[in-house]
Each structure stands twice: as C-alpha cells, then as structure tokens.
Amino acid sequence: MVDAWITEYSQLEFDGGETAEVPPEPALVDQKISFTTATQCAAFDVSTRYVRIVVSAAAHVQFGVSPTATADMQPLEPGVEYWRRTEGGHKISFYDGAT
C-alpha cells in the first residue's frame, strides 16, 4: 500500500527577498490517501491553483476532472516534493504501478 499526501494552495508568494516562491500557510486543504489500484483523491477546493505531492513509495499520477492513472502515466519517486499547477475541482489519480 502506498500513501500520498496532497497539500492544496491558492497562491505562491515571494519570500520577501524575492529568492524563492513559497506557499502561504495554513494550506487550503490537506489530503492523505492510501492506494494500490488506481485511486482518485477528493476534488480540489475551488480556490486551489497549486498542489504539493509526496508519496511513500513509487507511484504514477494523472490529473483531471475524472482521471485514471496507469503505469504509463508520469512517475513519482518516494519522499520527493512535487509541485504542480492545477485547477479547482480537478483530482489526482494515483496508481502503484504494480497491482
């Protein structure tokens, strides 16, 4: 079983020194899902524009209104922070690539 943590943000901001964009906390929504077969997260908040994703083991993802991830979709490595621009109401489908 793989766990995925998804953190939703409406914006990114410069850190004052204008050296990095950082999300304002608290986040809009925090989600955690566990999966083996293709599983969708809950639909993003209508204000969500950016998501941070971390997975506990190798996984594949697809974004969309009603996505279904397969082993042919973009891979994610465990423990790495992935940032994506997305739309409110969309979802992420996760798949472990083996089941």
Read off the pLDDT of residues 68-99 as tens digits, 9 standing for 90 and up: 999 999 999 999 999 999 999 999 999 998 87
Give the structural domain span for 31. 2-95
Domain total of the chain: 1
> Is residue 41 over pLDDT 80?
yes
Strand ranges inside the chain, DSSP E: 2-9, 13-14, 21-22, 29-35, 39-40, 50-55, 59-64, 74-76, 82-85, 91-95
pLDDT of res. 17: 64
Confidence at 24, pLDDT banded by 50, 70, 90 = confident
Q: What is the pTM of this model?
A: 0.90
SS3 61: strand
* 10-14, 47-51, 89-93, 94-98: range with lowest mean pLDDT: 10-14
* Model pLDDT, residue 46: 97
